[in-house]
Structure 1
């Protein structure tokens, strides 16, 4: 109980009928404002609570044992009244107990409606507890106490009833929910306003990913009005939070409106797999293909002289393929590929794979071919082919067929000769028989001008006669061994 305020008086001088009259006008104590849930307490020098209170102060609780003395300076020890008033927000409301003790009389009002009435002069303390349901929101409690004679004591409380069989009222949804995200730390801070329920036990924070439902088990439980989530993955995903209040009876409120954050993306996609390297000489290079990687926005291709060598960035690709147009024919290269997501995170490199660009350029046509008849066949000679990667010569021999307008050499492979050989003896030809010949150059990659376009320099000769050279004769397009 706060000490009583000292009353002040003002001297007033009045002029009446030519005489001076002196009077003293008492004033009430200054207005007192008490912050909820502190009571405003008023002392009256009567039991009717009439007139101006003798004293007004703030009181944290209704709990007094004045005994037979006066409750405050300037008040009588009998026939006085004390009134406590408080207005507060009860949140969602619910069942409350109003326990009182008093000697002498006590009355309790909720929003002006009397809930407790023990209004009589007693010689011992009387007690009573009344159960009430307080609606949601702001309400005013008023306690009137009077002492007629004898000892004076009074107590009052309003306490929520929190057993699950009695309290079925859910707390209100927490207000003012918000969320902030720090991309540097990857943490999200959820905050909200404090609930007004007196039986509040705490808050539960729930989190979900994208459009998935909230889990039954909360992410966190707290009695504070904020929570910092340090478990967010940095994957660039969107996460939503809601907060629910719960009371001591286990009742849980509905959730706040979702509050969402999109996390920083510092998680790289998986490494590409299924790498294949194939010759693409028709496209002037080597072609690389691999399996698409989920979440990849692009890819990077690295090349090294061999699988264990130093890899350097060769280029990028938007799709799961790449053409290395800088590959040198006949040179082996090792390749590895990475995936890059939209945030620029690069995956680990794929397993290495080696490929070589094939030589698809055939040697030039064999020139200077001559067929000289001998006693048992023909002696063939030709110019040395200039191809640096020459593997062999293939000699074709056959018969010349004509339809009267065009002659065609129908020939088949007769011999394979080393690249340093420029002569060949074709035997077992009957005397006087005519034959056609051509020689094809083949390189180490198997390239051949004849195989490529069916073109060759053909010579025709007759056994034991003088050979004739007829450059206009073409080899048969479908000759065997071609």
Structure 2
């Protein structure tokens, strides 16, 4: 007895034989000891391929070698069905049935193998194949196979639409799955995806032989997409698509940065600003944010957000600029309904502002006291800080600040610390001081309290400096002294004394910049002067803020020294008997020197025709050589008349150079020489 249960065939044999179950598409095979397939089978098993050659032997134990029968049966799902080819070969008889209808009949006892092929159209769904084989006498062999015909000109049957679809979305990926089709000629599956509101494209998203596909290319826009899958056979026939499976993506796509923001600009200093830009057109657009900063690029941060917590719905923004003196730039971003924010727009040009914001620094707990150093003001460090703070200003007035200001003076500015000393406040009167912070635009903060001081002043000169030394050198005298610890010290002055008619006469060293007494703040100085053996005295005096200072006659420090004598030897030529020059001077310039002269009027006017004298045609320049003890002539040819100087490009450095200049006449003779000397660094 045969019973069909789904895709399985179950054989119910005698009580002594257990049922054999074969899973489709494996055949269930039964062996009979007769050619009529009657009675109880001798054996039942499973056979995946019908391709046997038993020769002259028995097909199984307990069966005869002649006059036996074998039956194969299978019920399977042919999917959409379509054109198939059945091929049978046997020695002896073979019959093939499809759903009980005989399709091949080769049923006779022969000594050679007989074969037959038939083309069959199999309907869709489940069908049963039965193959009966008998061997009467002689050798036994049997072969049977069935397969779909897949050429495109024969197979016009579409595969069945896949079933069992499922769709899941995770980590920005969609996993689409379906059940396997039953077609034997299945080539694979085509997966299609469409955006909501659009048709499926002609080209599939993917082609696969698997029963699932993971889409990793979904845009992160918040849009809804639909999927379907279609089966395709080896002939190229494509099934209908499955029912749409939707998925809504996570939106992580920001809108485009607003355009046209960079076109906003203004000239001069701006009180308020009005920005405009092009409108965004994204379907999920929600609004704009505006950011402002005095630094570039403008950072998109909560601290720089100026448009508020609510999004701007229009493409414009207006605000009053803080008048801090900074240059401000703006950027604009677009935001969508999912909170995605665009990249910042191009920045605007910088909008300049007036600085009307006073600094935050305040000089608290200000106090004043007078000492020998002057009037010293101190105050507590300010806890507030301003970026444009440049320092404190200190004012002094003869009246309190609250009253009408008379004689108000700025006595200190750019004070970065917490103290200031006015070293020479007007003595003998009451002064009022206050301290106020200033920024780089001149805005002033809150002033300190008034500090009232009755200034006594100072009339006592600082004590004499100590440790004064004077050391002669080849180009002058080097001086050194100890630093004065007098609190009112302002500077030092150096006096140089020479003997005049047997008395020491002192003159201050002059500042070469303004030819006023040179004010020194250090404790070293080299007096660059000619080393000609002169006896001199130096006095260094400390001067306080009121100009009080000792003198050489009242106890100032003194040091007497005789300069080195590098003068030319007596009798050196050309003789220093005097040239017809009004003046002769020397001046060092870096590593070279300039020797200049002025021809005397008499020599300048001499003319042989008028007075019988000789005309001046030029000048010769000589320099003393201390190594050879002669004057070396520096001019190979005379310096032409009309020129008033000569550059010595090889002037000796760090010593004193002595020069002599002669006048050259038209007859080739020279006048006596005029001498000048210069000390060079």
What is the SS of the residue equivalent to 1:34? strand
The whole-number CA distance in structure 1 between the counterparts of 2:15 and 2:198 is: 68
Counterpart of 1:197 (choices 165, 183, 192) is 183
The whole-number CA distance in structure 2 between the counterparts of 1:149 and 1:40 is: 24
Identify which range, 324-333 or 213-222, moves more after superposition.
324-333
The whole-number CA distance in structure 1 between the counterparts of 2:280 and 2:130 is: 71
The whole-number CA distance in structure 2 between the counterparts of 1:86 and 1:308 is: 78
Q: Which residue of 2 aligns with 1:288?
A: 275
Quote how far apart the aligned CAs of 1:333 are: 3.1
Quote how far apart the aligned CAs of 1:107 are: 0.7
Q: Which residue of 2 aligns with 1:345?
A: 340
The whole-number CA distance in structure 2 between the counterparts of 1:89 and 1:236 is: 42
Quote how far apart the aligned CAs of 1:321 are: 3.0
Q: Which residue of 2 aligns with 1:155?
A: 143
Aligned 1:180-259 pairs, distance under 5 A: 180-182=168-170, 184=171, 186-259=172-245
1:179 maps onto 2:162 in alignment: no
Report if the CA contact (8 A) 1:278-1:287 is conserved: no
Where does structure 2 lack aligned partners over 5 or more consecutive residues?
1-13, 355-681
**1:210–1:299 distance in 2 versus 1, CA, 3 Å:** same
1:78 maps onto 2:78 in alignment: no
Where does structure 1 lack aligned partners over 5 or more consecutive residues?
1-25, 359-482
What is the SS of the residue equivalent to 1:106? strand
Report if the CA contact (8 A) 2:298-2:330 is conserved: no
Report if the CA contact (8 A) 2:189-2:230 is conserved: yes
Quote how far apart the aligned CAs of 1:344 are: 1.7
**1:337–1:50 distance in 2 versus 1, CA, 3 Å:** same
1:318 maps onto 2:300 in alignment: no
Q: Which residue of 2 aligns with 1:335?
A: 330
Quote how far apart the aligned CAs of 1:30 are: 0.9
> What is the RMSD computed on CA atoms of the aligned residues?
2.4
Q: Which residue of 2 aligns with 1:43?
A: 31
Q: Which has the higher contact order (CA 8 A, sep 6+)?
A: 1
1:299 maps onto 2:285 in alignment: no
What is the SS of the residue equivalent to 1:297? strand
Quote how far apart the aligned CAs of 1:287 are: 3.8
The whole-number CA distance in structure 1 between the counterparts of 2:74 and 2:43 is: 17
Q: Which residue of 1 aligns with 2:119?
A: 131
Quote how far apart the aligned CAs of 1:352 are: 1.8
**1:332–1:41 distance in 2 versus 1, CA, 3 Å:** same
Quote how far apart the aligned CAs of 1:81 are: 0.7
1:90 maps onto 2:78 in alignment: yes
The whole-number CA distance in structure 2 between the counterparts of 1:348 and 1:163 is: 56
Identify which range, 252-261 or 318-327, moves more after superposition.
318-327
The whole-number CA distance in structure 1 between the counterparts of 2:234 and 2:92 is: 35
Quote how far apart the aligned CAs of 1:237 are: 1.9
The whole-number CA distance in structure 1 between the counterparts of 2:31 and 2:341 is: 78
Quote how far apart the aligned CAs of 1:274 are: 2.3
Aligned 1:359-378 pairs, distance under 5 A: none
The whole-number CA distance in structure 2 between the counterparts of 1:309 and 1:213 is: 44
Q: Which residue of 2 aligns with 1:261?
A: 247
Quote how far apart the aligned CAs of 1:130 are: 1.1
Quote how far apart the aligned CAs of 1:170 are: 0.7
Report if the CA contact (8 A) 2:196-2:225 is conserved: yes
Quote how far apart the aligned CAs of 1:101 are: 0.4
Report if the CA contact (8 A) 1:82-1:145 is conserved: yes
The whole-number CA distance in structure 2 between the counterparts of 1:225 and 1:115 is: 35
What is the SS of the residue equivalent to 2:305? strand
The whole-number CA distance in structure 1 between the counterparts of 2:97 and 2:254 is: 66
Quote how far apart the aligned CAs of 1:226 are: 1.0
Aligned 1:323-472 pairs, distance under 5 A: 323-324=318-319, 327-328=322-323, 333-353=328-348, 354-355=350-351
The whole-number CA distance in structure 2 between the counterparts of 1:306 and 1:289 is: 21
What is the SS of the residue equivalent to 1:315? coil
Report if the CA contact (8 A) 2:78-2:183 is conserved: yes
Q: Which residue of 1 aligns with 2:49?
A: 61
Report if the CA contact (8 A) 1:277-1:286 is conserved: no
Flag the structure with larger Rg. Answer: 2
**1:37–1:261 distance in 2 versus 1, CA, 3 Å:** same
Quote how far apart the aligned CAs of 1:215 are: 1.8
**1:309–1:223 distance in 2 versus 1, CA, 3 Å:** closer
TM-score by length of 2: 0.46
Quote how far apart the aligned CAs of 1:129 are: 0.5
Quote how far apart the aligned CAs of 1:108 are: 0.8
The whole-number CA distance in structure 2 between the counterparts of 1:89 and 1:327 is: 82
The whole-number CA distance in structure 2 between the counterparts of 1:178 and 1:194 is: 13
Aligned length in residues: 328
